[in-house]
Amino acid sequence: MQLQSVNLTAQQVVDLTNKYMIETYQRFPFIATRAKGMYLYDENDQPYLDFYGGIAVNNAGNCNDKVVAAVRDQVGEIMHTFNYPYTIPQAVLAELVCKTLGMDKIFYQNSGTEANEAMIKLARKYGTDNFGPEKYHIITAKKSFHGRTYGGMSATGQPDNACQLGFKPMLPGFTYADFNDLESFKNEVTENTIGIMLEPIQGEGGVRPATQEFMTGIRRLCDEQGILLMIDEIQTGWCRTGNIMGYMNYNIKPDIVSMAKGMGGGMPIGAICTIDRIASAFNPGAHGTTFGGSPVCCAAAYAQISELLDHGLDKNAKEVGDYFMEKLSALTHVKEIRGVGLIVGVEFDFEGALSIKHGCIDRKLLVTAIGGNIIRMIPPLIASKEDCDKAFDILNASVEEAAANI
């Protein structure tokens, strides 16, 4: 849909949005009209180098040709049917995901927070079915982020974050421990603990990777205590971190894993994967979804994941991500650079993240800001070293401008 097709000006689109939509986002100051590869284009067909990737969604590139073709083909056959009949896209995607991850079963959802909600429900159902009604306690990490439904929000270890303020009380049964502190997690374990839920890299928490020692220790703790290890790969999954899943960087395997974002190539899909023993807790009626497993979204996800695997975009994410983080070390006012693969955070020594972000937008680079002093970059995994050079030059100029204006 373009401006001419609806007979509107750019300003009229902005005015309609402001008039009718409940806004919780700080909008970029342009209208996105098309996208391709590493670029998003505005209403004047000006290209913006995309280093936010729809928030870690467009892993195989904006409007990847095979994903687009898969969606177009499937739309012409069947768009929706609910989950009573079998569908081909569901079946072939299930096989691809389960075989790739070495899991037995998959359950489809529509988004990341729904996938986390399903993971929480499955863990609690498994606990109460096998150990009794009090076995529902789940430990998560401080500064974590697991979504905006009540389960995901309650699992999020940020009680002072805007995502929780005004929505309390949270759901009972969650406690929080210090990320990368094994002893802190051990201290939270009780006789009623059924799960430990973690991100391999805390995205909204400031792009903070888990350490090898911590993840190995958590897996051992779960094995010793009969606790389910629940890994949230919503943002880190599907090649983002230089491996197919973030947890694979640590040579561990979760009992349940959630995924979304980079799975669907831009179409709304999420899922959880687990093993047979745990999956059996979701008996008929225990959980469901109207749109989850949509034929169109499953077809898109099959094409997206095939593109990621066939083109080795996990390896590209590692090579280009390592190059980019080394390049970023030349920025001024840097306190720390954190990341793995192509999820990269730069923490500055002054509170200027929003100014830096808007300076980048003015120079046609799209990035996101976290808190007051962190810039996060999560570009499509087709990014090249040349793209990183362009991003660095723009970021460098934006940092200098923001620092000078303090």
Q: Where are the domains of the chain?
A: 3-60+312-404, 65-310
Which tokens sit at 243? Answer: 């491996």
The structural architecture, per CATH, of the domain 65-310 is: 3-Layer(aba) Sandwich (3.40)
Q: Write out the E strands in 34-104.
A: 34-36, 39-41, 47-50
Which of 23-27, 106-110, 157-161 is modeled with the greatest confidence? 106-110
Kindly report the pTM of this predicted structure.
0.96
Cα first-last separation, the chain: 41
Specify the long-range contacts of residues 92-101, CB closer than 8 Å, at least 24 apart: 92/302, 93/298, 93/299, 93/301, 93/302, 93/305, 96/302, 96/305, 96/306, 97/271, 97/273, 97/305, 98/273, 100/244, 100/305, 100/309, 101/244, 101/245, 101/257, 101/273
Domain 3-60+312-404 grouped into CATH 3.90.1150.10: yes
DSSP states along 245-298: SGGGGGT---SEEEE-GGGSBTB--EEEEE-HHHHTTS-TTSS--SSTT-HHHH
β-bridge pairing 343-348 and 201-202: unpaired
Q: Taking 90 as the threshold, does the pLDDT of residue 110 lie above it?
A: yes
| Model pLDDT, residue 371 | 86
Q: Taking 90 as the threshold, does the pLDDT of residue 1 lie above it?
A: no
Per-residue pLDDT tens digits for 113-139: 999 999 999 999 999 999 999 999 999
Q: Taking 90 as the threshold, does the pLDDT of residue 160 lie above it?
A: no
For residues 216-233, give the mean pLDDT. Answer: 98
**Nearest partner of 51 among 320, 256, 273, 307, judged by Cα:** 320
Q: What is the Cα–Cα distance from 232 to 217, expressed in whole angstroms?
A: 17
Among 101-105, 324-328, 356-360, 370-374, whose mean pLDDT is lowest? 370-374
Which residue shows structure tokens 């802190």? 184
| Model pLDDT, residue 181 | 98
For residues 52-71, give the mean pLDDT. Answer: 97
For residues 315-319, give the mean pLDDT. Answer: 98
Which residue shows structure tokens 């034929």? 295
User: What is the number of alpha carbons within 13 Å of residue 218 lying toward its C-beta?
Assistant: 35
Among 194-198, 204-208, 313-317, whose mean pLDDT is lowest? 204-208
What is the percent of the chain where pLDDT is above 90?
95
Mean pLDDT of the chain: 96
Q: Taking 90 as the threshold, does the pLDDT of residue 163 lie above it?
A: no
- 19 Cβ contact partners less than 8 Å away, ≥ 6 residues apart: none
